[in-house]
Amino acid sequence: MKNKLFIDTNVMLDFLGERDPFYEPIAKIATLADKKKLKIVVSPISFATVNYFLVKNETSEVAKGKLRKFKIVCEICKLDQHTVEKGLNSSFKDFEDALQYNCAVDSNCDVIITKNGKDFKKSLIPVMTAEEYLISIHK
């Protein structure tokens, strides 16, 4: 079983923002991470971006509380000069996607979980939605 998952920003936002119909699959993955059945890895960029969107609908304290709780079940990857350099020199059209991808590679992730698979067409790591991943582990 591929059990080290890189969680893209949009999926993290679905979870912490409880956005239907995408909330349930990522909530199941977070529960598996909480039970130590898999590991989830998130970029520091995702924490900043998700906070930005959460505070549009709730207080800063509520948003930070959600981020603190999520931090318990995930690993935050390193994002450094090396990662930025690889992102700047990659063939990805979107720089943020390039950073996310290189974070996943550098963290030795088995799968990238995203809603926007087309953004990771050049990925050497399997790319799935949260729902697709859950189906794949139940086969």
Given this model, what pLDDT does residue 103 score?
A: 97
| pLDDT tens per residue across all 139 residues of the chain | 579 999 999 999 999 999 999 999 999 999 999 999 999 999 999 999 999 999 999 999 999 999 999 999 999 999 999 999 999 999 999 999 999 999 999 999 999 999 999 999 889 999 999 999 999 988 6
Query: Number of C-alpha atoms within 13 angstroms, CB side, residue 75?
Result: 18
Give the long-range contacts of residues 50-57, CB within 8 A, separation 24 or more: 50/9, 50/12, 50/13, 50/16, 50/17, 53/13, 53/17, 54/13, 54/16, 54/17, 57/17
**Domain limits of the chain?**
4-137
CATH architecture observed for domain 4-137: 3-Layer(aba) Sandwich (3.40)
